[in-house]
A and B are shown apart, each in its own frame.
Chain A
Amino acid sequence: MTVAAARLAGCAHCGLAIPAGRTEFCCIGCEVVYGAIARHGLGKFYDLRETPAPAHTTTRTYAELDDPAFERVHVRRQGALATAALYLEDLRCTACVWLVESSPTCVPGLGQVRLDLGRSRVDVEWDPATCKLSQIAQHLDRIGHAVHPYRGFDRDRQHRVEDRRLLTRIGVAGAALGNLMLLAVALYAGLFEDMSVGDTTGFRWASMLVAVPALGYAATPFFRTALGALRSRRLHLDLPLSIGIAAGLIWGSANTIRGVGEIYFDSLSMLVFLLLVARFVVLRHQRRASTAAELLLALTPSRARRVDPSTGVSTDVPVEALLPDDVVIVLVGETIPVDGVVTRGTSAIDLGLLSGESRPVDVGFGARVHAGTVNVAAPLEIMVTATGEATRVGALVASIDALAQRRAPIERLVDRIAGRFVAIVTLVAAVTFVAWSAAISLGVGAEHAMALLVVTCPCALALATPLAVTIALGRAARRGVLIKGADALERMATPGVMFVDKTGTLTEGKLAVVSWRGDLDAAPLAAALEAGSNHPIARALTAYVPPAEGTPTNVNEQLGRGMSGSIGPHRVVVGAPSWVATQCHPGSQLDTWVDDLATRGQTPIAIAVDGRLVAVAGIADPIRPDAAAAVHALEQLGWNVRILSGDDDRVVQVVGAELGLLPASCRGGITPEGKTAAVLAAKVDHPVVMVGDGVNDAAAMAAATAGIAVSGSAEVAIEAADIYLRDPAIGTIVDVARGARDTLATIRRNLRWSLVYNLLAGTLAVTGLIHPLIAAIVMPFSSLTVLASSLRSRAFGGRR
């Protein structure tokens, strides 16, 4: 039987396959967003969209945004209008900008809406007399962008100051570069055209008056880092750069005042300008990290339904207002907002976010539940024990920050080279000075030694890494791989141990029927019976085949056991084999089937029709189709792939065996804390990469040499990771590993080229053959060589 194979058209919103039981859309999110877009006549969204993706919405009312407490902190009044900044989820492309900024036509009373894509921040302006902030938030939610209060103000302010200062320096260096070039061209032309001595002197003075203040200001960051490195006795690339720049400025000024000798102001300004631009580009790539407080916000709801103990009526309150021993009610499908103890109701809880376990856990009176987990079966009343940062997930998130900060910066290849470079150049300069002084005069000695320091200033060396990495990052982003830190690629370049979380990474991350023993004709009956339940196992059965006709009657759902009911003339019982066996004549095959499925790591679900056991379904989280090939390719590249999962160890072993991994490499039943410990232990000997998708992996990702989050990951995992794969194909990890290796190869090639240049220019300087015109041509030329070399890099499919 084929499962809804005829649905080829795909979801009307995102184009993904439509699961059985749904008609036009793949999920409720897409349906809501499609409806909202159509209702407001915003169909142009689909023309502007670059990459279709499933939409997510919530059913939140956002009533907490109208709370006076929220208003005091986040809302500014300007005359009759109010303004606030909000954080939006799922912002991707031009179409999102357009859709969000079209909101004023949809919500009466909403004024200007400005979106900042890089910060996921939207500034809204509205008339409080006509509409409320909660209505604006609801609208944004229905068009697919869940709303959170914006908390990044302090970080933004600090970044803005840094960015503006660097941009100003770039502007000053650029203006100095342009003008010094003009003066230099006149001077070089004068060499061949008989310029009078007086005019030459005038132009040299003009050059100096422009260069010294402009470059002195623009190059301050290099001087500052170099001084810091000297003080802490570390090696840093800025040290040789600063020596070169400072030597050039001082010696050029001295020669201007003396009226003889060379000035290098034009070459120096080019160098400073290029270096600043490279630094700015790298800085902008590193601006993605977030703070723990924001992560927590994205993970757990910001409001809860508090139950008044005397009246039993529930009201929406901000989570911050909850106190221990308050009781909150959590409806089906909602995320639990607090840590607490169940006081009323029985339900099943999806712990996926916290533990990575693929099967929901049944809870009843007195069970401990944690914030961030999802209530999937029935409403629960929970007595609060901890909120916010005091919750288990809060502690986990806080540990991510601490671990990421503790992660030692890798010793960058280029800094190591810079160290040797400084030593060699200083030594050669000293020898040059002594030799020429002895042979001719002190003046000539100083001239040649200074020329050496200036022309060997390692501009190309400084550009070698940022150029190669920035080009690789840009190409990777176009292929759906978002790499955060510039050094993440360098971290990934040496193969070591790769820990992979199972759920949602190697597997699909949701339950499905993967095998069937017995009579397949019973499947539509089981599907029809289970259609009314929200339990994930019920949903897997419903999605397996189109349900039989007819509404189930006399339905009885027993938590942790199963369901029974009548479909037309048939009496159907579906559930745990031990329970179903008590409801029917089990037959001889039940135990065989159940044992068979259990050894395959599947959850057996028995189905009885009219008092006779007819079939057993095997429920599991299916392995992604490309997982085995990806694991194999990674091992070919030299990685040691291992599974580290919170799921049941038997399930993990089965998955590992199917992917061709040794049993010793696969470990199940591991807590988030255990994952971190395993990563730290392995990190002693090898570089460790952690691949995962959930909050339970986030701390381990932060502890690893590099962390990779796969498509559909929890926000916190994305934030903790260095690399995020937007494409659900696990095979993309292979691309990343290869891309990292190729990028490092490019960096090495760049370094070789720039060292060859330095050797050449250095030889000319030492022998006294260097000429400022040669320096002016060769210095930028070496930088161009590095640029060309980076552009033709193979990393991420640059050169096919």
Chain B
Amino acid sequence: MTTMYVVLVLALLGAAGAVFAFVWVVRSGQLDDVDTPPRRILFDD
């Protein structure tokens, strides 16, 4: 079961990393405009 605790800590660290990545994405403004980009991918040039 000791392995379990090691993995648990690793998993939580991974989750914390994901949260920081998300916070960075939000702060950098990538989610400010969510209306226009989905339309932009329709242009093929």
- Chain A residues in the interface with B (C-beta under 8 A): 48, 93-94, 97-98, 101, 115-119, 160, 163-164, 167-168, 171-172, 175, 178-179, 182, 196, 199, 202-203, 206, 210
Contacts and interface: CB of A to CB of B under 8 A. Distances in A.
B11 A179 contact: yes
11 contacts: A97-B36, A97-B39, A115-B36, A116-B33, A117-B36, A118-B33, A118-B34, A168-B23, A171-B22, A175-B19, A175-B22
Contacts of A172: 19
A93 B11 CA distance: 43
Nearest to B17: A175
Overall SS of chain B's interface: helix
Contact of A206 (B8, B39, B43): B8
A164 B26 contact: yes
B43 A171 contact: no
A178 B15 contact: yes
Contacts of B22: 168, 171, 175
B36 A163 contact: no
B40 A97 contact: yes
A203 B12 CA distance: 12
Contacts of A94: 39, 42
Nearest to A116: B33
Given A48-B42, A199-B4, A206 B12 contact: yes
Given A94-B39, A117-B36, A175 B18 contact: yes
B8 to A, nearest CB: 6
Interface string B1-43: 1001100100110010011001100110101111110011011
A196 B39 CA distance: 54
A607 B39 CA distance: 55
A160, A164, A196, A199, most chain B CB atoms within 10 A: A164
Q: Which 7 A-B pairs have the closest CB atoms?
A: A171-B22, A94-B39, A118-B35, A117-B35, A117-B36, A175-B19, A116-B33
Contacts of A163: 31-32
A199 B15 CA distance: 21
Nearest to A206: B8
A210 B12 contact: yes
B1 A199 contact: yes
A163 B39 CA distance: 21
Given A48-B42, A98-B43, A171 B19 contact: yes
Contact of B26 (A98, A101, A168, A199): A168
B24 to A, nearest CB: 10
Given A93-B39, A118-B33, A164-B31, 8 more contacts: A94-B42, A98-B42, A98-B43, A101-B40, A115-B36, A171-B22, A175-B15, A210-B12
B36 A116 contact: yes
Given A118-B35, A163-B32, A202 B40 contact: no
Contacts of A196: 1
B28 to A, nearest CB: 10
B42 to A, nearest CB: 6
B5 A202 contact: yes
A370 B19 CA distance: 57
Contact of A171 (B11, B26, B42): B26
Contacts of B23: 168, 171
Contacts of B42: 48, 94, 98
A164 B27 contact: yes
A118 B19 contact: no
Contacts of A178: 15
A163 B33 CA distance: 10
A167 B26 contact: yes
Most B-side CB within 10 Å, residue of A101, A116, A167, A172: A167
B29 to A, nearest CB: 8
Contact of B35 (A116, A167, A206): A116
Contacts of A98: 39, 42-43
Contact of B32 (A117, A160, A203, A210): A160
B16 to A, nearest CB: 8
B22 to A, nearest CB: 4
Contacts of B19: 171-172, 175
